[in-house]
Structure 1
Amino acid sequence: METIIFIPLACSTAILPYYHELEKYNLDYGGISVVAMEFGIKSALFDEYLIRDTWLMSFGGLFVLLCMWLYTGSLFLTVMTIIAIVFSLGISYFTYTLVFELHFFPFMNLLTTVVAVGIGADDAFIFCKVWQAMKNKKSNSLSQIMNDTMHHALVSMIVTSFTTSAAFLASYISSITAIKCFSVFAGISVLANCFLMVLWFPACVVVWERFPVSRLNVIRGCLLACMQRFCCVSQWTISLACYMKYSRIEKVLLEKEKMFIEFVIRFRLLWFISLTLVAIASSFVVLYYPRLQLPNSTEFQLFDASHQFEQYDLKYKHLFWFTKTERLELEAGINLKLPLRFVWGVTPQDNGNYLEPDALGTLKIDESFNMSAPESQSWLLKFCRNLKKQPFYQPEMGVLLPNCFIESFIDWMERRCKDEFEDIDRSPCCETSVFPYTSWIFNTCILEAIGDLYDTIYFIPGAAGPKFSKDQVPTIKAVVVEYDSNYPFSLSYNYMYDFINQVETWFDEQLKTAPETMRGGWFVSSFEFYDLQRILSQGTIMAIGVSMLLAFIVLFLATLNIVTSLYAILNITCSIFVTMAILVLLGWKLNILESVAVSTAIGLTVDFSLHYTVNYRLAPPECLNDRKEATKYSLTNMLKPVTMAALTTGMAGAFMLPSTILAYIQIGTFLLTVMGVSWLYATFHLVGLLALGGPKGNFGQCTYSQLFCQPDKQSSKFARNRAAASSLSDTHELDLLTNSKSFSNSSAPNLLHRTLSGSRPGPSRYIVSDHSPSATSAITIITAEDA
């Protein structure tokens, strides 16, 4: 049983303090509870909660900070990474507002903060992983270690950033302002983050390596003392990062990691088949049943469904008679018939700024339109009479003069020319003029006719009727013919589509018989909500297709291997379908925020797959001929960074779930889902696919020379010799992305013989390292100068 209580308070923001007082009390008493409220302050409360719940994002940021500290073992590098992320957002905002001069900043752009944190942490994890591997591999100078690290990490960092940015920028094709603005801001943020992580973060790593240890110990001791004194935190908790790095736990984790890698590769067929079947089932859920639904409510939900304000709007609002009447009228179509509105004289062009909601643009006049032409008058009269015979026309009671003004104008022109009572001669605007009228008579009499019609009670000014210019002698520049249809307004996309298709088909047939002066007409009705549904359904699918195409192009240009690029795109597609299927089963509908989330899912899903794919091609030559070994190499290098990136971004979303704002809850749910699905499919599905059918050696491998030019034989021979020497060096992995032939260490003697015999011109120096575990020395080959 429900009842309602009216409180004598005005619905305004002035009662916000009163509502906050109510929040402090338990509104349950004796089995009676307040389940819904309506104070008219829903939007104001949303603005207030929007700022209040930012502390949830702060906790998510602190968790990311802690994870990065644990992984890198350096608070300095962690802080520098956060600063780089903040700088990237600042650069993006500067470019967005001052360079592009965009003043509309929608709420959706805040989602870019979470994306920037995830991508920035991902790049930091990869760089630190490769840096540590290069340090442990050999004891060269710091510049050489940095050179090797950049050769290995730069490809993954740049490729993932460019593909993610391309996925965001692809959403620019949408006609919705909020989605366009988000695509611009997010795309710029990712590129700025890539620029800083490639230049800023390596410099920070060098500074950290050169930092005196004694000074570091002093700072660390002061930090521990301060946190113990003021925060009551134990030294073991503060030193957890160092403990994880130097204690036995790290050895245990390394053993568990090896076991996990063996587990993934051993059951590769099982992972690939099972996850592929899940992706196929998910595609059925997204595309067929229950499929991704379009929005079916004109009321925009701001809070969680359990909130009292949302409970009133969603459940209890239409149970009371003062609002139930409106609902019944909506369902019965009373006074809510879709109008039949036909326009001439104005071209159907929207030349406003799609990035600024207030920039509506200007009307563009159809220069070929001429209502005063006799053929235009005759055709318009015939059109109005044919319109009334159509099945979608709603007969009207009473007189509405402006609906098709040509009929009213003809009746007005049939008056007597001489008025004996007032002694007035109305010529030529009288019965002596024969329809269709000449242009001069029409232009002269229509002004007087409209003036007289305004004096009657039947002429209701509105959208319908002739529209005049503001010249000294006004002329008709546009005409609107409007009647009611017998189709009531509906939130159903299919219902509205049938109505529009029926009317436009008939109207196109009518225009085929129209004179040149009337062929520029077009039909419009109450299509605001329908247009939103149409743009979301078509624009989102198109954005997904463009994003996937751009991701494939960037990945192929980076690896130049068609097979691994197709594998990565297949894996990304499966991840997108599974993510969207989970959101569909959770009850999501394709609204503006959900459409932005789909674009963000593409950008975030790309990263993990690209890391594994790129490192598969970066495997040593002896591993490339064995799929399992190349896959194991990729997993060994990228498992930790990918797992930490998924963990940090996913948990940052988990901290947003306790919010009462629906957008924050949806963002948190989305981040948890997309990170979990992306990590699962990249680590098991893609890795399993590479272990089963990954390219061996140089199968499917292209070079830039093959794509853009045909080098001569001498340059090809020089390139092959250089590739052979590079394959023996410790930085050979990056060259495998573009070389066409691999060499093993056994080719060193032949290379030495060819080099000393002077078969290749030019001086050079190569360091050939034995990759066996017992290697303790290196071979230095110095070529002689040509005579």
Structure 2
Amino acid sequence: MSAFILIGIGCDDIFVFFDIWNQEKLEWLRKYQNKLLTENANMLDVPLNQQKNLSKLKRSSSQHLFLFKHSKEIRKVLLSEEALIEIMSNTLKHAGSSMFVTSFTTSAAFFTNILTNISFIQVFGIFIGTCVLIYFAITFTAIAAFAVIYEKHIQNMISHVLSMCCTDFVNKSANSTLAKLYHRFSLACRNFRNYIFSHFMPLIIIKLRYVLVLIFLLMGILGLIGSFYYPKLKVPSTQKTALFLKDNPMEIYEFSMKNQFNGYLKEDKRLFTYPAISFVFGIRDIDDGYIFDMNDRGRLHLMPLYLNRQITLEFFKNFIKHLGTRKDLFLSNYDLEEDFKLFYELATDDILVAKVINDR
């Protein structure tokens, strides 16, 4: 799962970088074209009555690069050091802030898994959060360098190879019916995309702006209520997967009743119902195992038990009395009370205490 998450996040960063890279290339070409138009106008000393036509020409140049007759001229201009430096600078400036914010918030969300007490989830969150930040650094260094190398060398090599191998095939298929259908289909898809994102969606957003804000405001309020009031957002406390709350009828057996029906018998190595119950006292609930080592169970922290003290005996008496009320575990508490009487007599006569000391 970690690999799929990292691949998805890395692809998003690379897509954002190259999308802005292509936009900055077009923007640089438009500025370069406007610069040439201005220089030509100054050299020719354009009259005032023709300056309006020149401004219209500049506005149209922002949509079409009509000064360049074919792609070789465009590549020759773009491959200059001045052009590459300016394009890369603008790309990093515009892509850097958005990519950093998304990468930082994503890694922070994964780092919050440290708050849980499940070691597997802690390690998973730290690993993914660190890898997201590393991906951001790789995108701004290695991927940026690859973009320059691709523009200067790889793209030129690919175009030469394709022109040598596929010239005849392209010439034959250019006039075929299938090629014309493909061209029409791609043109229709492009026009549909432009209509959706350039006309329809802006119109809907402007017309329904108050309704959309109200809907998402209500969704945000409901999300806050669900996170902080009911049922509250809690970090995982068990390795069991829960789709509902623990008191939901669909989850009661998994979280509340399953342990009451299943046990493990070492002699027969089989599961059985209503197992024998063992209680261990004198151990503190401290987990000091190393969270990044799944096999490190830590140390047992013992606490002293003074069996000859009255308060200790009262604790055991109340504990066994309460345990005897568990009808789901015992039919009656008679046997428990009888066992406790023997325990009480041994503890009172200091026989049990002496035996514990001798065993140590």
The alignment status of 1:298 with 2:238, answered yes or no, reads no
The alpha-carbon distance between structure 1 residues 115 and 388, as it changes in their structure 2 partners (threshold 3 A), is: closer
Change (3 A) 1:215 1:370: closer
1:361 to 291, 295, 298: 298
Deviations 1:214-241 (A, max 9, x none): 522244468979xx9xxxxx9x89xx89
Taking a change above 3 Å as real, the CA distance of residues 223 and 359 of structure 1, as seen in their structure-2 partners, is: farther
Relative to structure 1, the CA distance from residue 119 to residue 224 in structure 2 (aligned partners, 3 Å threshold; closer, same or farther) is farther
Native 8 Å contact 1:377 1:406 kept in 2: no
Pairing partner for 1:381 from 298, 301, 313:
313
> One-letter code of the match for 1:446?
K
**Residue from 351, 355, 358 that aligns with 1:446:** 355
Aligned equivalents of 2:296, 2:217: Cα separation in 1: 47
Out of 95, 102, 106, the position equivalent to 1:164 is 106
Equivalent position SS for 1:119: helix
Give the distance between the partners of 1:164 and 1:474, measured in 2 at CA. 56
Cα distance change of structure 1 residues 406 and 219 upon mapping to structure 2, 3 Å threshold: farther
Instruction: Give 1:119's aligned residue.
Output: 9
Q: Which of 272, 275, 281 matches 1:343? A: 281
Could you tell me which residue of structure 2 aligns to residue 134 of structure 1? 24
Tell me how far apart the structure 1 counterparts of residues 223 and 147 of structure 2 sit (CA, whole Å). 43
| Map 1:223-372 → 2, pairs under 5 A | 250=190, 253-259=193-199, 260-280=201-221, 292-294=244-246, 295-298=251-254, 335=274, 341=279, 343-344=281-282, 346-366=283-303, 369=304, 371=306
Aligned residue type for 2:298: G
- Once the two structures are superposed, residues 172-209 of structure 1 have per-residue CA deviations (whole angstroms, 9 ceiling, x without a partner) of 11112232122122112211211211111111111111
**1:142 Cα deviation after fit:** 0.6
What per-residue deviation string (whole Å, max 9, x for no partner) do you get for residues 481-500 of structure 1?
Answer: xxxxxxxxxxxxxxxxxxxx
Change (3 A) 1:363 1:212: closer
Unaligned runs of 5+ in 1: 1-109, 229-233, 300-325, 328-333, 411-434, 448-467, 476-787
Partner of 1:73: none
Q: 1:408 and 1:164, CA in 2 relative to 1: closer, same or farther beyond 3 A? A: same
- The 3 A distance-change label for structure 1 pair 390 and 354 is same
Q: Deviations over 1:537-592 (max 9, x none)?
A: xxxxxxxxxxxxxxxxxxxxxxxxxxxxxxxxxxxxxxxxxxxxxxxxxxxxxxxx
Task: State the Cα distance separating 1:263 from its structure 2 match.
Answer: 3.1
Kept after mapping to 2: 8 A contact 1:116/1:189: yes
**TM-score scaled to structure 1, two decimals?**
0.29
- Between the two structures, name the one with larger relative contact order (CA 8 Å, sep ≥ 6): 1
* Amino acid paired to 2:139: M
Amino acid corresponding to residue 296 of structure 1 in structure 2: I
Q: 1:397 to 1:390 in 2, by over 3 A?
A: closer
Q: CA RMSD in A?
A: 4.3
Q: 1: CA distance between counterparts of 2:297 and 2:342?
A: 28
Q: CA deviation at 1:261?
A: 2.8
**Does structure 1 residue 151 correspond to structure 2 residue 93?**
yes
Name the CA distance, whole Å, in 2 between partners of 1:220 and 1:297: 64
Check the 8 A contact 2:119/2:294 in 1, yes or no: yes
Give the 3-state SS of the residue equivalent to 2:359 in structure 1: coil
Q: Deviations over 1:29-80 (max 9, x none)?
A: xxxxxxxxxxxxxxxxxxxxxxxxxxxxxxxxxxxxxxxxxxxxxxxxxxxx
Question: For 2:112 and 2:96, how far apart are their aligned partners in 1?
Answer: 24
Per the TM alignment, residue 159 of structure 1 is displaced from its structure 2 partner at its CA by 1.4
Query: Secondary structure at the residue paired with 2:286?
Result: coil
Alpha-carbon distance change, 195 to 248 in structure 1, aligned in 2, over 3 angstroms: same
| Pick aligned residue for 2:359 from 454, 465, 474 | 474
Q: CA deviation at 1:256?
A: 3.8
Residue type matched to 2:116 in 1?
S
Equivalences for residues 458-607 of structure 1 within 5 A = 474-475=359-360
Provide the rounded CA distance (Å) in 1 between the counterparts of 2:137 and 2:223: 37
Secondary structure at the counterpart of residue 293 of structure 1: coil
What is the identity, as a one-letter code, of the residue corresponding to 2:87?
Answer: I
CA distance in 1, matches of 2:340, 2:139: 64
Name the one with the larger strand percent. Answer: 1
Would you say the 8 A contact 1:347–1:365 is kept in 2?
yes
TM-score, length-scaled by structure 2: 0.58
Report the CA distance shift for 1:442/1:173 in structure 2 as closer, same or farther (over 3 A): same
**TM-superposed deviation, 1:389:** 5.0
SS in 2 for 1:275: helix
Kindly state the Cα deviation for residue 381 of structure 1 after the two structures are TM-superposed: 2.9
Alpha carbons of 1:271 and 1:401: their partners in 2 closer, same or farther (altered >3 Å)?
same
Partner amino acid, structure 2, of 1:293: L
CA distance in 1, matches of 2:123, 2:23: 41
Q: Structure 1 residues 403 and 388, CA, compared in 2 at 3 Å: closer, same or farther? A: closer
Asked whether the equivalents of residues 409 and 446 of structure 1 are also in contact (C-alpha less than 8 Å), the reply is no
Residue 385 to residue 277, structure 1, CA distance change in 2 (3 Å)? closer
Cα deviation per residue 1:254-305 (whole Å; 9 max; x = unaligned)?
354221234323422121123333555667788759x952343439xxxxxx
C-alpha displacement of 1:400: 8.9
Summarize deviations over 1:453-483 as a string: whole Å, max 9, x none. xxxxxxxxxxxxxxx7xxxx633xxxxxxxx
Give, in angstroms, the shift of residue 253 of structure 1: 3.4
Quick one: distance in 1 between partners of 2:336 and 2:188? 92
CA distance in 2, matches of 1:399, 1:213: 84
In 2, the alpha carbon distance for the partners of 1:170 and 1:181 equals 11
Q: Give the secondary-structure state (helix, strand or coil) at the position aligned to 2:281.
A: strand
- Summarize the Cα distance change of 1:340–1:283 in structure 2 as closer, same or farther, 3 Å threshold: farther
Q: Within 1, Cα distance between the matches of 2:281 and 2:318?
A: 16
Q: CA deviation at 1:118?
A: 2.5
